[in-house]
């Protein structure tokens, strides 16, 4: 179970981002159909999607660039996209409807609450955490999403042999995550202990990553398996 400190310190700040009329309409029209809340517990993922299929969790889905592309390319998988910012959820819902995708559900809540209350133990086949907030100032490092308590909770929700994929362009956070994951019981670094992984060829180049490349940022990938 996650630790008390992680429950008290949020890994995000809700900013009053502008919601476009189209995003608002998508939220009003489609969130009830494609959205989940942790009030829905206990959750049977197979019941939610109406089938037995591999379950993929994306943490911090943003506007859904990865989720929409992955769900389109892999209709055999079911995707649970967690995002706290409503404009992103609105854009993701627009994409789901436009592409007529039945294999995505969205959650507009804190991922720790989602993992604690909504996602059952040993239910996830893959977990994606792409470009989490780096909180670069040292006094804010306690807000970083990935810590030992979070990894313990996450590992409990992953199936045996499930995969965890992480990408960041913040070097000191990448080193921190590498150390945390290498030291986490049950997680195995598939690139070798102390090593970053090659960039997965299937990971889409998002606008965020493109901007980082233009600024000369190096992207660090990590891939772990649950023993």
Residues taking part in catalysis:
133
Determine whether 116 is exposed, middle or buried from the number of CB atoms within 10 Å of its CB (0-12, 13-18, 19+).
middle
- CB–CB of 182/222 below 8 Å? no
- Three-state DSSP string of 136-163: CCHHHHHHCCCCHHHHHHHHHHEEEEEE
For the four alpha carbons of 153, 158, 159 and 165, in that order, the dihedral sign comes to negative
- CB–CB of 36/43 below 8 Å? yes
Pairing verdict, β 187-189 and 220-226: antiparallel
- Can you tell me the distance from the alpha carbon of 187 to that of 182, in angstroms, rounded to the nearest whole number? 7
């Amino acid at each position: 179970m996650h630790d008390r400190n992680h429950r008290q310190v949020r890994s995000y700040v809700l900013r009053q981002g502008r919601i476009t009329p189209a995003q608002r309409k998508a939220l009003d029209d489609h969130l009830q159909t494609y959205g989940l809340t942790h009030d829905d517990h206990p959750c049977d993922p197979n019941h939610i999607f109406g089938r037995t299929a591999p379950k993929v969790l994306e943490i911090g889905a943003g506007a859904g660039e990865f989720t929409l592309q992955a769900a389109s390319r892999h209709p055999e998988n079911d995707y649970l996209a967690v995002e706290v910012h409503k404009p992103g959820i609105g854009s993701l819902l627009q994409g789901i409807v436009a592409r007529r995708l039945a294999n995505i559900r969205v959650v507009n809540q804190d991922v720790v609450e989602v993992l604690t209350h909504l996602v059952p133990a040993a239910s996830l086949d893959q977990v994606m955490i792409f470009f989490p907030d780096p909180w670069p100032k040292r006094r804010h490092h306690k807000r970083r999403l990935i810590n030992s308590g979070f990894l313990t909770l996450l590992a409990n929700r992953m199936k045996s042999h499930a995969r965890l994929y992480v990408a960041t362009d913040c070097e000191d956070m990448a080193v921190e995550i590498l150390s945390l994951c290498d030291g986490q019981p049950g997680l195995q670094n598939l690139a070798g202990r102390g090593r970053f992984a090659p960039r997965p060829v299937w990971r889409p180049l998002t606008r965020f990553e493109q901007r980082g490349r233009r600024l000369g940022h190096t992207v660090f990938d990590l891939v772990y398996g649950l023993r």
